[in-house]
């Protein structure tokens, strides 16, 4: 399970960083959704703008607890892996660029990225598994 946990984190980070690089400064319309590159110094929906250092610290704290307690919650490995991959993907942006790069535009929702998607899916999986136990 440990190898799968780290592999899923690695794959999410690579996919996130690759797509952010590929879609940098792009605007493409596909009808139902668009690729619309933007940057965000805040949290989801652009709230708390220019609080990058706070979000770096929060991300590091969450990662600390995930890795510290991962062995105690092995049934949650996939959700914790998704969440960790998403956090690391956005931490890379925050540390190296000072903002998060977003590009997926559903037109009825704020623009987001692959890391955001996996973070949300990870939290939903964790809550689902905790509810079932």
Tens of pLDDT along 50-90? 899 999 999 999 999 999 988 898 899 999 999 999 999 99
- Catalytic, 50? Answer no
Let me know if residue 87 belongs to a domain. Answer: yes
Let me know if residue 107 belongs to a domain. Answer: yes
Contacts of 3 (CB under 8 A, 6+ apart): none
What is the torsional sign of CA 36, 85, 53, 18?
negative
pLDDT confidence of residue 132: 77
Let me know if residue 97 belongs to a domain. Answer: yes
Let me know if residue 133 belongs to a domain. Answer: no
pLDDT confidence of residue 47: 81
Domain carrying residue 61:
2-128
- Catalytic, 102? Answer yes
Q: State the total domains in the chain.
A: 1
Instruction: Give the active site residue among 16, 93, 105, 116.
Output: 116
Q: List Cα–Cα distances, 71 to 4, 45, 81, 86, 133, in angstroms.
A: 13, 33, 12, 20, 17
Let me know if residue 99 belongs to a domain. Answer: yes
Residue 118 burial class via C-beta count within 10 angstroms: exposed 0-12, middle 13-18, buried 19 and up: buried
pLDDT at 4 over 90: yes
Give the pLDDT band of residue 110 (cuts 50, 70, 90).
very high
């Amino acid at each position: 399970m440990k190898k799968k946990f780290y592999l899923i984190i690695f794959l999410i980070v690579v996919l996130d960083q690759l797509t952010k690089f590929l879609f940098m400064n792009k605007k493409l319309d596909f009808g139902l959704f668009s690729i619309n590159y933007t940057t965000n110094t805040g949290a989801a929906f652009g709230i708390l703008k220019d609080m990058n250092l706070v979000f770096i610290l929060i991300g590091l704290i969450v990662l600390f607890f995930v890795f510290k307690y991962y062995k105690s919650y092995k049934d949650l490995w996939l959700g914790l892996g998704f969440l960790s991959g998403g956090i690391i993907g956005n931490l890379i942006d925050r540390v190296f660029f000072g903002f998060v790069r977003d590009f997926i535009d559903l037109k009825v929702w704020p623009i987001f990225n692959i890391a955001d998607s996996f973070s949300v899916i990870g939290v939903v999986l964790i809550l689902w598994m905790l509810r079932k136990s």
